[in-house]
Structure 1
């Protein structure tokens, strides 16, 4: 399809993609999908349906300054005048622009995902984007009453439980009392990623708004989205423990090992173990591939925390954690009790071989076979015995075991959560 740059300044690059449909889609980029060559936000989906597209791509993190948009509007007016149906589309910074410039670009329908009202720190409490506010180009940048028209059709998609985005929605709402709203709970600021679908984008552009139809389509799309499950699991894990199992049972997930960040992955694996469902299949679905597997018989745990749990080394997450004895027994191939003697280095028995448990300053653990040299950045952990309790130390830091079974190292070695007990 034919593409050409039809306007450009220091802040935006505007590209016209000629199609064969009767509809013109004005697609706004965001912080991630900024100007790069001739690329346009949601380009593949828009090409699939042969739309004519004006792609307004930000070159900087400047929230489409009004001076640039006014200059652009004068330049592209001949193209705008060719179409009776103009639809604006964008997310976050792009959603803000789609709403703010709906009058300027004469858009009949505007589809905005998690839009901002402003990034001016004097106007909103949200500080996610405050560093990008520039008073010299952002005077009165909030969406103004004379920039929108209730006669136009506005569709906003956002997560009502995500406080930062909800603040912007509540400030936009009085300006557009008749707008259509689609709630997308437990997705945070990732609504556009969760609902990335050519068919759904086409529905938003072409179909008259019917709340029942769109909620059904949104449910269909989000259930196929890996992004959706990442946010749902993180939000529900501590309140609805069995939600993880239901998602794993009802979906054939095969996630990449980099899909979850280390913190979320550790919590998910820990929850599986607590539910005694740490099967190889479930771990693979989460992309949580074990680094080691214990094939020998289960070892008896003997280092207890103040919460009456036992300290183990998790061979999946490679972290020190604590669990009840029955959970350790049920997952002994992945949960390895510490082998300790008073005032010595911490060791592990893994498949009848002995390893030193070491750590570096970034909190990364390694198992080093006893007798082999240590890597230069790794130091062994030390098990210390005092008159009334024990502890595990790394340099000047002490292991702190929380009630949820997660642990970290702190400077205070007198904290109750640092006290361990040998059985």
Structure 2
């Protein structure tokens, strides 16, 4: 925890990591700490989507801890986005940006998504299910519509959490902030959350203003166009991707 004693709380969650089995060094999110938030960073030691023998104890502690705050905001990525939704009620979460989160990783819940099956062996579908954990949190789920599984997860979440809307950021990848990151818009994303102005239109606008200069966007667009048989668009997007990569390499070499 960073900057304790404030009346607003920002919560972040570690996402799925190659460093599973150990905790990583936590650092404060400066924009929230500077704006007068207490920052709580939560980590799961394993890639277990925070569902384990300690889940209920954590839930009880978060419920006790969060009562002192007038507002609780969060940003979560993939596994971290799922965790923000799973603990939304315990945290009394008011505003959330969930980036490419999962509705669940239990095969019975999401038979269409096999990406996380090796992590789902110990996943308790009752303890990890979102259906019974509706909470009136307001915010947006970001998803790349070219990644069908991510979009379906987002739509399922939208049904359980009616205060959450789905922002479709085409060719944004997983997590769906890759284009925003390349466009230097993550700070703007955080400002929207702090000012509680998080909406689909605002986030789609940030994406549009970032994609022209984003190699990731053009690479993903080229791949999608190729898959759908739009060869001319695929070739144009691939040329744009290559040129942007060359421009960035030249810029880096000139520094």
Larger Rg: 1
Corresponding position of 1:216 = 205
Which of the numbers 188, 198, 209 marks the counterpart of 1:199?
Answer: 188
Give a deviation string over 1:310-358, Cα, whole Å, max 9, x none: xxxxxxxxxxxxxxxxxxxxxxxxxxxxxxxxxxxxxxxxxxxxxxxxx
Q: How many residues align?
A: 240
**CA 1:224–1:22: 2 relative to 1, 3 Å:** farther
Q: Does 1:242 align with 2:236?
A: yes
Q: Distance in 2 between matches of 1:134 and 1:216?
A: 39
CA shift at 1:131, angstroms? 0.4
Q: Does 1:99 align with 2:85?
A: yes
Q: Which segments of 5 or more consecutive residues in structure 1 lack a partner in the other structure?
A: 1-15, 257-283, 288-423
The TM-score normalised by the length of structure 2 is 0.78
- 5 Å-filtered alignment, 1:298-337, equals none
Corresponding position of 2:144 = 159
Corresponding position of 1:133 = 120
CA shift at 1:255, angstroms? 4.0
Corresponding position of 1:75 = 61
Contact 2:158–2:165 under 8 Å retained in 1: no
Q: Distance in 1 between matches of 2:207 and 2:15?
A: 22
Contact 1:90–1:112 under 8 Å retained in 2: yes
Give a deviation string over 1:182-221, Cα, whole Å, max 9, x none: 1111223231333331232221332323443332223224
More helix by share: 2
Contact 2:81–2:101 under 8 Å retained in 1: yes
Corresponding position of 2:131 = 145
Q: Which segments of 5 or more consecutive residues in structure 2 lack a partner in the other structure?
A: none
Corresponding position of 1:254 = 247
More strand by share: 1
**CA 1:44–1:195: 2 relative to 1, 3 Å:** farther
Q: Distance in 2 between matches of 1:66 and 1:32?
A: 17
Give a deviation string over 1:36-71, Cα, whole Å, max 9, x none: 44325x835545645321111121011101642321
Q: Distance in 1 between matches of 2:97 and 2:211?
A: 17
Which of the numbers 198, 210, 219 marks the counterpart of 1:230?
Answer: 219
**CA 1:219–1:79: 2 relative to 1, 3 Å:** same
Contact 1:24–1:83 under 8 Å retained in 2: yes
Contact 1:188–1:231 under 8 Å retained in 2: yes
Give a deviation string over 1:258-288, Cα, whole Å, max 9, x none: xxxxxxxxxxxxxxxxxxxxxxxxxx79x9x
Question: What RMSD, in angstroms, separates the aligned Cα atoms of the two structures?
Answer: 3.1
**CA 1:204–1:226: 2 relative to 1, 3 Å:** farther
Q: Distance in 1 between matches of 2:35 and 2:207?
A: 19
Which of the numbers 92, 96, 106 marks the counterpart of 1:120?
Answer: 106
Q: Distance in 2 between matches of 1:234 and 1:129?
A: 23
The TM-score normalised by the length of structure 1 is 0.50
